[in-house]
Amino acid sequence: MKWYVVNTRPREEARAVEHLTREGYQCLYPRIRRTLKTTKGRVDRVESLFPNYLFLHANPMTDNLARVRSTRGVRNLVRFGLEPAEVPPEVIEELQLCGEKQNGVIRLNGAARQAVAAKFADSELVDFGGVFLTTDGSERVILLMRVLGDYNKVNLPEEQMEGSQAAA
């Protein structure tokens, strides 16, 4: 069993989770609670940790991942080359630990954010620690994709590489 990243339609993460769960998949939809300053005072708001993305647990040998694309709320699986992007197990474990205490919603104050980021500081997943330091959803997605890109190396035959000696 492996974890994959699903790209959802805008603001349809909850719908995608609902329908993927009906189809028998396990999903992880991490959300974060933020306190925003508005003209009416402070307001707590729950938003997606990674806007338009969620995680799917599936067995690539037995589950037909092609079905995921036609699920309501889903745009596609994130891929690098022809293969779906796998998520490092450490990333999923940390997201589950953080969200477990608050019914799937991550609530991190300044000290907790630093502590989570420090866990990844000396690992191959150093970029993932930044996810907990930034408040901008699009920046968190960029950091996630950077981690996935490092974890999912694409191997191309030399003849498929543009400008290679073999193609000349």
The 10s digit of each residue's pLDDT in 48-93 is 888 899 999 999 899 999 999 999 999 999 888 888 988 888 878 8
Q: What is the pLDDT of residue 87?
A: 86
* Half-sphere exposure of residue 13: CA atoms within 13 angstroms, side-chain side: 20
DSSP strand pairing (74-77 vs 2-8)? antiparallel
pLDDT (0 to 100) of residue 8:
95
Residue 154 has pLDDT above 50, yes or no: no
Write down the pLDDT at residue 161: 47
Calculate ∠ Cα 60-64-54, nearest 5°: 75
**Is the per-residue pLDDT at 151 higher than 70?**
no
Q: Which CATH superfamily is domain 2-153 in?
A: NusG, N-terminal domain (3.30.70.940)
pLDDT tens-digit map of 33-54: 777 888 989 988 888 888 899 9
pLDDT at 141 over 60: yes
Average pLDDT, the chain: 75
Rounded Cα–Cα distance for residues 90 and 124 (Å): 10
Q: Please determine, for residue 126, whether its predicted confidence score (pLDDT) is greater than 80.
A: no
Could you tell me the end-to-end alpha-carbon distance of the chain, in angstroms, rounded to an integer? 41
Say whether pLDDT at 109 is over 70.
no
Determine the Cα–Cα distance for residues 34 and 36; give it in Å rounded to an integer: 6
Ordered by start, the domain boundaries in the chain are: 2-153
What is the model's pLDDT at position 47? 82
C-alpha distance from residue 54 to each of 18, 29, 33 (Å)? 12, 5, 16
pLDDT for 167: 43
Q: Which residue has the higher pLDDT, 15 or 129?
A: 15
